[in-house]
Structure 1
């Protein structure tokens, strides 16, 4: 099952959702701001994306700049920050079986389908 980690207020996320809708494939929408991802879920997504936790962070977010920017943080500390502040997570993320992409630009999602 295809899964999109979606923020309806984000234009790139809405564009990614439109690509999935137009694909005609079944998918699940995860509004991760409403229901924050668990630590294990974030770790699995990072594994599928083949990136570090820091690479999934939106570093221009105010909460990152004010609380984390100049600190040396472990993977677990960065994941904890994402759990506490889900808007720090880059979006949209689309997972299809054992592959995942960050939909920036949204056209990258097409490679996953």
Structure 2
């Protein structure tokens, strides 16, 4: 099975997680989500696999988060996922997926927990 990593090459944590995975001699599919944004359906599936609140998938320190008022508690999961689909930069990184298991690899060593 191929391990997937939702990766931002400019992010040091994402680079560290990728290096850890590659050091395990695994087949790793690198998804540069800023170049190839995940669809709403892919984000919904990723949310289900992660089994965390949608808010944990969001990067709250990004300008778009503040500009779109995504910290508002009344926003539904559907609204937050739609914002992620429209603004992929908001996706927390890195996210590592292995079949029906996934983790937000912060710290990067968490990437190994889904192997």
8 A contact 2:96–2:102 mirrored in 1: yes
RMSD: 1.1
Gap regions ≥5 residues in structure 2 = none
Please give the per-residue CA displacement for 1:11-69, whole angstroms capped at 9, x wherever unaligned. 00000110111010111000111111011111111111111211211111111012124
TM-score (norm: length of structure 2): 0.93
Partner of 1:24: 25
Aligned with 1:82 (options 78, 81, 84): 84
What is the alpha-carbon distance in structure 1 between the residues aligned to residue 39 and residue 65 of structure 2? 19
The whole-number CA distance in structure 1 between the counterparts of 2:82 and 2:71 is 16
Deviations 1:53-106 (A, max 9, x none): 112111111110121245321111111111111111100000001100111000
| Residue in structure 1 matched with residue 51 of structure 2 by the alignment | 50
How many pairs are equivalent?
Answer: 113
Where 1:107 maps in the other structure, the secondary structure is: helix
